[in-house]
Amino acid sequence: MKYLSNELSTRESNTNIVIGEAGTIGHASISMKTMGEDGDGRDDQARFFFSKSSPFYIGDLPHVEPIISAHSYHSVWPIANQVSYRHKVNEGIQAVNPDLGYWMSEYCILQKNGEIGRGNGRDLGMATALYVARIIHHDLTITRARSWQWWTAITEVDYKDGLVYLDDGSEKEGGKMGAHIPSLQFNGVVRDSKLLWVLGNYSRFIR
């Protein structure tokens, strides 16, 4: 990081660096044990990288953005935990540096839950859309995320990981999916999801 920042300065570049994403919010500014998981030595990256008392402090490098980014996987169920974890993440960031920003840099449905099951099986309807809308709301309002990013836009698999789905149209409400379907290499049916509209409304109307 230091070498790259120095090189960017030497070249008089206006490019800045955002450090690598934390795998979960538990790594962002709290500990995995707080989330009921075993620690793995990568906890509290906000303090590790941006506390002036840390030997690994990079907050004074001219081309490093004061941003911590993390994924929201495995932190959303039950709802009480979804809320409490995010309060702790925000409190941890504020304790290090109130000006330190937070990005939620990747999410799709993985965690088993009591509302929509888990990630397997696509859902074009409102149940998944509203489930994700609540997560976005909490990430924006509690952790104060400045950026929120979904995993992938277009998918051809039977999973809750896309906003737009492709299948071969062999059924009225769906069809065969997957890279092994020959017709999908050249053609297919495009189906939008209610989740696409959730992301669209947050992107367009909610700032």
For 69, the enclosing helix (H) or strand (E) is strand 67-71
Q: What is the pLDDT of residue 178?
A: 85
> Cα(104)–Cα(139) distance, rounded to whole angstroms?
7
Indicate whether 88 belongs to any domain.
yes
What's the pLDDT at 52? 96
Question: Of 144, 150, 152, which is closest to residue 67 (Cα–Cα)?
Answer: 144
Segments forming the whole domain that contains residue 6: 2-152
> Which pLDDT value is given to residue 131?
98
- Does residue 201 form part of some domain? no
Terminal-to-terminal C-alpha distance of the chain: 32
Count of domains for the chain: 1
pLDDT at site 207: 66
CATH number, position 31: 3.20.20.80
Q: Is residue 62 a part of any domain in this protein? A: yes
> Can you give the pTM of this predicted structure?
0.93
Q: With respect to residue 203, please indicate whether it lies within any of the assigned structural domains.
A: no
User: Could you give the 3-state DSSP secondary structure of residue 22?
Assistant: strand
Residue 71 lies in a domain: yes
Phi first, then psi: what are they for 156, rounded to 5°? Answer: -125, 25
Confirm whether 138 is domain-assigned.
Answer: yes
d(CA 12, CA 3): 14
Per-residue model confidence as pLDDT tens for the chain (207 residues): 999 999 999 999 999 999 989 999 999 999 888 888 887 888 899 999 999 999 999 999 999 999 999 999 999 999 999 999 999 999 999 999 999 999 999 999 999 999 999 999 999 999 999 999 999 999 999 999 999 999 999 999 999 999 999 999 888 778 888 888 888 888 889 999 999 999 999 999 876
Would you say residue 189 lies in a domain? no
Q: Which residues contact 140 (CB under 8 A, 6 or more apart)?
A: 148, 206
The amino acid that residue 99 corresponds to is D
Residue 123 is assigned to a structural domain of this protein: yes
What is the structure's pLDDT at 170?
Answer: 87
Residues 164, 192: contact at Cβ < 8 Å?
A: yes
